[in-house]
Amino acid sequence: MQRDGKREIAVGLTLIVGLCLLALFAPTLATHDPQETDTARWLESPSREHFFGTDRLGRDIFSRVLYGGRISLAVGMLSMLLSVGIGVLAGAAAGYYGGLVDALLMRLADIVLVFPSLLLVLTLVALFEPALWLVILVIGGTGWPGVARLVRSEILRLKKSEFVASARMLGAGGGRILWRHLCLMPSAPCL
């Protein structure tokens, strides 16, 4: 019996949207200030006042989870945007221009792929003061090779199409063809 997976997709999407909404409305839903300490109430078990209990400093764990979700979503979204942006630019340039540009960009992608990003994060945090932007840069800066390879392969396939040859014959330059005809078309690999 083959399943189509629509129910699983709906459940997964509902959970993701629910978690995003919880993080978005954290200031409204949080029952306590996540940084407020109360050493008289340390390590309390879950109760009506503290849904998830308290930590060693008496801080409300439920409030801390809600606010922590905001940070996790911000890091995930920003690093993903950076990764996709770099990957689309590198893949589109490599696929369309080919030759030396393709060779250099794909070898750079290979180098980034073999370097463990967790090791890079730990090294940079040890060298510099720990910061959220540093984590976003490292995750985004190491996640682009897969996107670049996918975009490159689609650009290689599409640049042999008749509409690209027509645009070239009408005098369109490489940048215009790449942006206008390959990246902005309805089934574009760049979007």
pLDDT of the residue at 126 = 85
CA neighbor of 69 nearest in space, from 26, 131, 133 = 26
Name the β-bridge partners of 60: 54
Residues of the chain with pLDDT under 70: 1-3, 181, 183-191
pTM of the model: 0.77
Residue type, 83: S
- Which pLDDT value is given to residue 159? 82
Give buried/exposed letters for 146-162 (b at 16+ CB in 10 A, else e). ebbbebbebbbebbeee
User: Counting Cβ atoms within 10 Å, is residue 190 exposed (0-12), middle (13-18) or buried (19+)?
Assistant: buried
pLDDT of residue 189: 57
SS3 call for 173: coil
Cβ neighbours, 10 Å, residue 88: 22
Tell me the pLDDT tens digit for each residue of 28-81. Answer: 998 888 888 888 888 888 888 888 888 888 899 999 999 999 999 999 999 999
Three-state DSSP class for 189? coil
d(CA 8, CA 124): 39
List the domain boundaries for the chain.
6-158, 160-191
> CA-to-CA distance for 95 and 117, rounded, in angstroms?
25
Predicted pLDDT of residue 181: 65
CA distances from 83 to 13, 20, 54, 142 (A): 22, 21, 37, 7
Separation CA 61–CA 32 (nearest Å): 9
Of the candidates 65, 75, 64, the residue with the CA atom closest to the CA atom of residue 132:
75
